[in-house]
Amino acid sequence: MTVNAGLCALEERPGDRPATSPEIPHQQLDQIAPVELQEELWRRMAGLDHVRTGASVVSLPETRALHLDPGHAFGPDSAFVRDSTEFAHLHGARDGSLHALLPEGEAADIVAKGWGEFHPLVASGHCPPTLLLLYGPRDEEELAVVWRLVCRSHAFASGQIL
């Protein structure tokens, strides 16, 4: 996949959407990703170029976040959580979902195809329409799609796509 390739080939996520909390903390409540898939996703996430792992600037203590090296954070403000270089975070094992920031048009397509939903604070204008909860992968095929979305978030934060 090239960085500039859009998500036009994004397939629909099979099955019903999982239940999620309607407020903060915004979490996935059922259809939880198996821990092995969560750990494989984290292994891949932590290996992205120019990324430092650490605590999230906004999420629960068990959340693991990705922070882009400031020297590579060329994306717009809407590619990051608040005034930081955090662009994605994986929730704890009881949840398995993750928040990521993606370009606005892609975010809408991801939601329409059932892979995630907008953060509740998007509707009130407190967060940009680039902030999504991505549902945790239930199997290897879904892991491949979620990984692709994380790579797009990384490219957005790096300024490779707008």
Which helix (H) or strand (E) segment is 100 a member of?
A: strand 98-101
Q: Is the pLDDT of residue 8 over 80?
A: no
pLDDT band at 6 (very low <50, low <70, confident <90, very high): low
Is residue 21 domain-resident?
no
Is residue 104 domain-resident?
yes
pTM as predicted: 0.94
Is residue 25 domain-resident?
no
Is residue 20 domain-resident?
no
Q: Is the pLDDT of residue 120 over 60?
A: yes
> How many domains is the chain built from?
1
- Specify the CATH number for the domain of residue 110: 3.90.1150.30
Domain range enclosing 91: 36-157
Mean pLDDT of the chain: 94
Is residue 30 domain-resident?
no
pLDDT (tens digit per residue) in 51-86: 999 999 999 999 999 999 999 999 999 999 999 999
Closest CA to 86 of 127, 29, 125, 142: 127
Is residue 61 domain-resident?
yes
Is residue 47 domain-resident?
yes
Is residue 2 domain-resident?
no
Which pLDDT score is estimated for 1?
36
Question: What average pLDDT does range 8-32 have in this prediction?
Answer: 94
CA distances to 16, 44, 104, 151 from 160, rounded to whole Å, are 33, 19, 15, 11
Q: β-strands 98-101, 131-134: how paired? A: antiparallel
Contacts of 133 (CB under 8 A, 6+ apart): 20, 26, 27, 28, 97, 98, 99, 116, 117, 118, 119
